[in-house]
Every structure is written in C-alpha cells, then in structure tokens.
Chains A and B, each alone.
Chain A
C-alpha cells in the first residue's frame, strides 16, 4: 500500500541511459543525469528545458513506464513500477492518442475502468469531468471528429477522471489556441486550488510556467541545473525567462559552477 504520508514524487540521483542495438552496434544516449528533486503535496512543480533536455524521460520514470539506469524514483513512497503506486497518479502525454472510433464518454469509461472506477461512481465521474473540461456537449462525439484542442481536453479529462493526487502533464498547452490555453490553465488552477492536486508539468511557455508554478526545475541536456522557488523569479529583474536563458545558454561548466 502507498504510504499516505509519503511525498507524491521523489527522485534521488536518477539517471537514464537509452541503449539501442543495431547490427551488433550499441549506441547509448544519456537522457537524464543524476537528477534529484521532490514534489511536495499540493504544489505545482514545473519542468523547463529545451527539446531533448529530459522532461519526458523524467515523466516516464515517474510513472514507471521506463526504468532508471541509476538512482531511485518513489511515487507515493513506492517504486513507480508497482501498479499500486500509480493508483493516485494521472498522466497527460504531449500528444494523447485515443481510439478513433470511440466517443469521449467511451474513452473515459475505458480509462476510468482501468483506474478501478466502476458503476455509478464511474458515471458520475465521467459527467463531472466532461463538464470540467468543457466536453459536456461533445460527450457522444467520436475522437476522429474532434479538433486537436478538444483531443487535448479529452487527454486532460482521462488524466483527472479518477481524482489523482498527483497529475503529470507533459506540455498540456501544446498546439492549443490562446482561448484553449486559458481554459487549460483555469482547469489546472481549479484542480490545484480546489482539489489540492499536486501537479508536475512541463511547458515551453515560460509565461504559463511563471503564472502557474510554485517551483520550477530547469533541465539542460539531462542535468537538473536549477530548482527555483517562486520568490526567486518574482524577485529577479528579468523574471523566469532571463533565469532560464542564462541557465540553458551558458557554457555547461560555467553554469554548473555558478
């Protein structure tokens, strides 16, 4: 059983090397290097980094989808590889792909069922979640008929359907128009403010991260180069943007010693 007092997520010196073998040759790619951080209960924690900096790898390790090559990750005190540990987590990948022939309701029934929901509770949760994500009127619409923005909303809906205590959002605003981004932000604020859901999210939009997050970690080439409290970028002259640019643009050795 997950430890109720445990932090939602802890990374202790976690590293990941992807290995690919082809015709007897093995290539190795270091995606994450000795990353240590934790997500506190009820906070919104942002991951910032350029493409290929290790954000998605971090999420996948947190959810037990891939194994760390070194170090240890704990999800609610358990190894994320254990199914039990993932009971209280929800995940929205960058581009969620669903069965094209199913309706929004059917998609949620499928993922809700896999999360252990059933019967009247599942029906209620589906109705509430569709309402929260602005999909109430589209509940019978098939996935193939949905625009990208609505698919992203459906992605969020499946992630929060079972009332997770930790929500992992990989680029939740990816490909959304400004209005949809605003609605996504409101949904995230509602989940964190009202339901006290801990949230780990990544985004390329620094302004979104600045608005939403309590703390931010900056990843560069798999290294966790900075973990900042909100006060740090509030007090800094150029805000989070300048801190981020300085962190990812500086020569690696110089930045590490800074």
Chain B
C-alpha cells in the first residue's frame, strides 16, 4: 500500500509541477469566464446555459489532462529511463501501474475540483440554487474520465505513439456516448449488420454516466452504485490489458 501511495503522490506532484496542467487550468478559467458572456445570450435561460456550458467545459479539460497524461506517461518514463530506476526496486509491475494510474486519477480529480469550484462560484453569484444533482453530475464526469484514463493507459502501452493512443481513446470516448443510438441503427439493419453488434461491447457505455446532460431536466436520483460498479469493471479490464503489456515491457 505504501508503494502505491508513494507512486501516486509522485505522479500527482509531477503533474501539478508541470506547466501544461497550469496552462490547462488557466485556459479553463478563461473559458468559463467567457462562457458566462455567451450564456448571457440565452436570455431567460442564462443560468441553465452557464450550467451546461460550464459542466461540458469541466469535462473536456479534465478529460484532456487525463488522456494526455495517460498517453505520454509510460512513453516518457521509458524515454527518461525513470521506469528502470523504479522497477529496479522491489516493486512489482502491477503495483507500478496501479500507483501511476492512481496518481493520474488524482491529478484529474484535482483539476475537476478546481474548475468545478470556479464554476460553482459563478453559478451561485448568478443566483443559481444549489442542488445535489450538480455533485452527481461531477461524479459522473469523473467516472467517465477514469474510464478514459484507463483506456488511454492500456492503449498507450500497446502503441508506440502518444498521438495514436490519444486518437484511439478519443474515438472510443466518442463512440461511448452514442452506444444506444448505434445499437438502434444496427438493429434497423437487421441480420445484415448483426455481426457488428458484439463490437458494441468494446467502447464504454458513457451515456450511462452522462448525468450532466439531464441535469437541467429535473432528473431522478442517479444509480451511483451501478455507476461505480460499471466504472470499476470497465476500467479494471483496461488496466488488466495494460498490465498484460507492462509485465513484459522492455523500456
């Protein structure tokens, strides 16, 4: 457990010390501020527009930080030979992977907290009445980001290019938001397209976690337990794929 903590803390500190994270957070702050100006165009729905725009932006920034971090992490550890120094210690590769995953997940969490605090402050200043649904939306966003992070780590260890890892992750991420629609379309195609249906098990079902889309529509209580179970299972599978590659990887 201690090694996990040390590795996660190191990843978090390294990410927070990098200018990229700082620039991303500053960009998010500026865009949130601009979002307020844009939402003014929405007349009577100004607060709702700020709510939706802001949550979308928070998700994109957190996703960007997680996917970029995940795509370059092991490539950079290999290039700088830091992986050799760490793995020459009595640290198993599964622990190494999990520690680094936790560190990147924490980094994404910090980004989410900072941007959402700013967003929330802006909403409250606009006279928005806080609802716990906002927190559920943030939880949904974070779980989606964890899924994207695990996918990216898995893909990055099989790919030699960070760009390819980010591209594949973005593709699966996009598909994951339209799984019910794609399933419906395949269903209409009848037996001719039936062979494609098993492929729908590959992308994550992100529409299941996309609570922010229904936030403004007075949603019911979300199935948070099922969210966590789904995220744990899906991200766990990708981490297993990553470990399968990492256990024999020669940096």
Interface flags, B1-32, vs A, CB<8A=1, else 0: 01100110010011001000000000000000
Choose one: A85, A89, A91, A118; the contact of B85 (CB below 8 Å).
A91
Is the Cβ of B84 less than 8 Å from the Cβ of A116?
A: no
Choose one: A67, A83, A110, A118; the contact of B10 (CB below 8 Å).
A110
Is the Cβ of A63 less than 8 Å from the Cβ of B88?
A: yes
Choose one: B86, B88, B248; the contact of A89 (CB below 8 Å).
B88
Asked if A12 CB lies within 8 Å of chain B CBs, one says no
Q: In the complex, what's the smallest C-beta–C-beta distance from A79 to chain B, in angstroms?
A: 13
Q: Which residues of A contact B187 (CB under 8 A)?
A: none
Q: In the complex, what's the smallest C-beta–C-beta distance from A61 to chain B, in angstroms?
A: 10
Q: In the complex, what's the smallest C-beta–C-beta distance from A121 to chain B, in angstroms?
A: 13
Asked if A53 CB lies within 8 Å of chain B CBs, one says no
State A96–B80 Cα separation when bound (angstroms).
8
Is the Cβ of B85 less than 8 Å from the Cβ of A158?
A: yes
Q: Which residues of A contact B180 (CB under 8 A)?
A: none
Is the Cβ of A87 less than 8 Å from the Cβ of B248?
A: no
Q: Which residues of A contact B17 (CB under 8 A)?
A: 99, 101
Is the Cβ of A91 less than 8 Å from the Cβ of B13?
A: no
Is the Cβ of B90 less than 8 Å from the Cβ of A67?
A: no
State A89–B80 Cα separation when bound (angstroms).
21
Is the Cβ of B80 less than 8 Å from the Cβ of A118?
A: no
Asked if B44 CB lies within 8 Å of chain A CBs, one says no
Asked if A193 CB lies within 8 Å of chain B CBs, one says no
Choose one: B2, B89, B92; the contact of A118 (CB below 8 Å).
B2
State A115–B80 Cα separation when bound (angstroms).
20
Is the Cβ of B84 less than 8 Å from the Cβ of A111?
A: no
Q: Which residues of A contact B89 (CB under 8 A)?
A: 86, 111, 114-115
Is the Cβ of A110 less than 8 Å from the Cβ of B6?
A: yes
Asked if B197 CB lies within 8 Å of chain A CBs, one says no
- Contacting A at CB under 8 A, from B77-95, are 80-82, 84-92
Choose one: B14, B85, B92, B251; the contact of A111 (CB below 8 Å).
B85
State A85–B91 Cα separation when bound (angstroms).
10
Q: In the complex, what's the smallest C-beta–C-beta distance from A29 to chain B, in angstroms?
A: 12
Choose one: A102, A115, A118; the contact of B90 (CB below 8 Å).
A115
Is the Cβ of A114 less than 8 Å from the Cβ of B86?
A: yes
Q: In the complex, what's the smallest C-beta–C-beta distance from B244 to chain A, in angstroms?
A: 15
- Contacting B at CB under 8 A, from A237-255, are none
Q: In the complex, what's the smallest C-beta–C-beta distance from B55 to chain A, in angstroms?
A: 32
Q: In the complex, what's the smallest C-beta–C-beta distance from B84 to chain A, in angstroms?
A: 5
Is the Cβ of A83 less than 8 Å from the Cβ of B88?
A: no
Asked if A195 CB lies within 8 Å of chain B CBs, one says no
Asked if A71 CB lies within 8 Å of chain B CBs, one says no
Asked if B250 CB lies within 8 Å of chain A CBs, one says yes
Is the Cβ of A65 less than 8 Å from the Cβ of B87?
A: yes
Is the Cβ of A93 less than 8 Å from the Cβ of B81?
A: yes
Residue of A nearest to B92 (CB): A83
Q: Which residues of B contact A18 (CB under 8 A)?
A: 250
Given contacts A64-B87, A65-B87, A83-B92, contact A97 B81 (CB under 8 A): yes
Is the Cβ of A86 less than 8 Å from the Cβ of B88?
A: yes
State A116–B80 Cα separation when bound (angstroms).
24
Q: In the complex, what's the smallest C-beta–C-beta distance from A83 to chain B, in angstroms?
A: 4
Asked if A30 CB lies within 8 Å of chain B CBs, one says no
Choose one: B7, B82, B250; the contact of A66 (CB below 8 Å).
B250
> Which residues of A line the B interface, CB within 8 A?
18, 60, 63-67, 83-87, 89-91, 93, 95-99, 101-102, 110-111, 113-116, 118, 158, 168
Q: A93-B85, A99-B10 are in contact. List 5 more A-B contacts (CB 8 A).
A: A64-B87, A65-B84, A65-B88, A86-B88, A97-B80
Interface pairs (22), CB distance under 8 Å: A65-B84, A65-B251, A67-B250, A85-B90, A86-B88, A89-B88, A90-B88, A91-B85, A93-B84, A96-B85, A97-B85, A99-B10, A99-B13, A99-B82, A101-B17, A111-B85, A111-B89, A113-B2, A114-B3, A114-B6, A116-B90, A158-B85
